[in-house]
Chains A and B, each alone.
Chain A
């Protein structure tokens, strides 16, 4: 049968037809979501889904799946501590930012026992999620998180103390090579990768400090200045805590306690050396404030 010229006009040119016949387009079936260990166990043992609670997993920078081993990242440790304070049982999972939907750790996944679709909660929404949990210990800590003092002191932790932490752990060369790089690149210890990631982290830390030093200056502060600011901030926090058990005179630890603990615990326990370690360093400066050290110990003894 001969094609009419009209049909002929609509046909694809020969070479394109050849091309398409050589490389057939295939729509592969959709990959199922990866099976979690719990699913696999249920799958193999065929045990009917026991009426269990949902399984909460906090993906964070950590070395263990045991939630009572503290993370080595302040942001992760803060949420880990707060979840423990609010008595939500969870497991931790070693992870890195590439795994996170929002690009930053930690995040929490909830895998209900009945179905396999798990829900993900990024760290920005964790506080609200915790409030909605009925299993969580009722908010004993009734500190107003919108209050002026709360926000002012929080800006100290997120400003001066965070900058000094970044300087001590990421910019100080000795801590970078002995603590930060080994811990953050434990998954990929092959030769050039830790060094590349290390220099990227260092650059990111420098940029973060540049952004947070607010005064209209083109030059960056020095390390000594950053440490002095952080010690000043610790002094202010120490005064704020006074002889109380928890910050702002609360009956029970709260988010702010977790926030402070995340830094004090890591500074006191991580064997930070280099410029932050010796005499007049950040760690020695922190140890001067007995009540902050006591506060760290209280939280550590009880939840870790």
Chain B
């Protein structure tokens, strides 16, 4: 039996993937099923996944897309044997569902802000990263899409983004321009320093908004719900936290704040990361059909284009709905092209039967005249420029003032 394949986004920042959900899926698989039963495939190809997003799991010919679906598929496959949440109480399971939604809602904007929207990090680190693993024409489209998503996710943080950008663009502290002995040199007298502190405080509050409940819940325990082994919520947390903690970024506010203010969370992340996101993961190569190639990418882009261009903006009840929607769009496009071709043929036929010769002659004549007049026109312009200059100032400012 071939091992299960976990398809994810490429490795980056010393982590097995650049996407928090993919990292969470990797952590989940390494903590739930034995190492030899699964391989990690960096296919970067979202078209393999039934729900259009990575991570995706390939078991034989069966595909499962999305972390939550992967978790429930593997649990039902092993009939609970590999369920890492099996020791939780009913209430803890409910909490697990709630915290999953909480982490995604509050932490994804922070990760997006740090990796994609903070322009220094995006330009210097994240954007070049994509070029390393994506083939030529695609390396321009995918990072752009991810960046656009990150921007829309952080739309509510606009003023903070502006502050970070302002702080980045500011030059290093210049030589003091104050006259010696006249001004005091305290922090208060320095508006730049003050602004920097405010930005930092706001970023800290943003992180605390997410991390305070988590730290309160961890409270020195090894795992989220205590116990001796990780649960799904630990996997999700390490996926998101490791993307805040490990990347080496030029604007490393997330890492700095985490290390200064949340040592408990840092220790927790370090511990989980070294056990479940470490280097001893077996990598596999994607099958020919699952590879991200220009052809598969084009095919997918075309299939999803009616939706991504907002031509058919709808949420159908099931996946079949998306397919019929896309098919209907392309049938309509074909219909329009077919109709245009038919009309064109009919017109051409008419033109050729009803004394086409004369028409063509007339057209040629007309075309000749046009060319002639055009050439004369352009010549005339050159001649006329002098006269035009004379005539131009019709409205003189003096006239308007009533002098």
Contact = CB atoms under 8 A, between A and B. Distances in A.
A239 interface: yes
10 contacts: A13-B401, A152-B98, A155-B105, A216-B53, A219-B51, A219-B304, A223-B315, A223-B317, A224-B318, A236-B95
A13 to B, nearest CB: 4
A136 B360 CA distance: 89
A148 B213 contact: yes
A220 to B, nearest CB: 5
B101 A206 contact: no
Contact of B108 (A12, A167, A214, A223): A214
Given A218-B46, A222-B319, A152 B101 contact: yes
B318 A160 contact: no
A102 B19 CA distance: 36
Contacts of A14: 402
Given A148-B216, A159-B101, A219 B52 contact: yes
Contacts of B53: 215-219
A223 B307 CA distance: 16
A110 to B, nearest CB: 29
B402 A216 contact: no
Contacts of A238: 94
Given A211-B153, A216-B53, A224-B317, 6 more contacts: A148-B216, A149-B98, A167-B315, A211-B155, A219-B322, A222-B321
B313 A239 contact: no
Interface stretch (B144-152, B275-283, B331-339): B144-152
B403 A9 contact: yes
Contacts of A299: none
A205 B54 CA distance: 25
A212 B217 CA distance: 25
Contacts of A147: 213, 216
Interface in A1-57: 8-9, 11-14
Interface of B: 19, 21, 46, 51-54, 66-67, 90-91, 93-95, 97-99, 101-102, 104-106, 108, 145-146, 149, 152-153, 155, 212-214, 216-217, 304, 307-308, 313-319, 321-322, 399-403
B314 A152 contact: no
A152 B152 contact: no
Interface string A142-159: 000011110111011011
B307 A219 contact: yes
Interface string A217-239: 11111111110000011011111
Contacts of B99: 148, 152
Nearest to A161: B101
A188 interface: no
A147 to B, nearest CB: 7
Interface of A is mostly: helix
The range of chain A's interface size is 35 or more
Contact of B102 (A8, A155, A240, A275): A155
A272 interface: no
Contact of B213 (A11, A152, A212, A235): A152
A209 interface: yes
Interface in A176-218: 203, 206, 209, 211-212, 214-218
Interface in A242-287: 242, 275
Nearest to B145: A218
A159 B95 CA distance: 15
Contact of A275 (B152, B317, B399): B317
Nearest to A159: B101
A248 to B, nearest CB: 12
Contact of B98 (A155, A214, A216, A219): A155
A250 B317 CA distance: 38
Contacts of B318: 222-224
Given A156-B101, A240-B94, A216 B315 contact: no
Contacts of A226: 315
A239 B46 contact: no
B315 A215 contact: no
B153 A214 contact: yes
A171 interface: yes
Nearest 7 CB-CB pairs, A to B? A148-B213, A217-B53, A219-B52, A239-B94, A236-B94, A152-B98, A223-B317
A108 B116 CA distance: 40
A151 B102 contact: yes
B140 to A, nearest CB: 16
Contacts of A235: 94, 97
A214 B400 contact: no
A160 B318 CA distance: 17
Contacts of A222: 315-319, 321-322
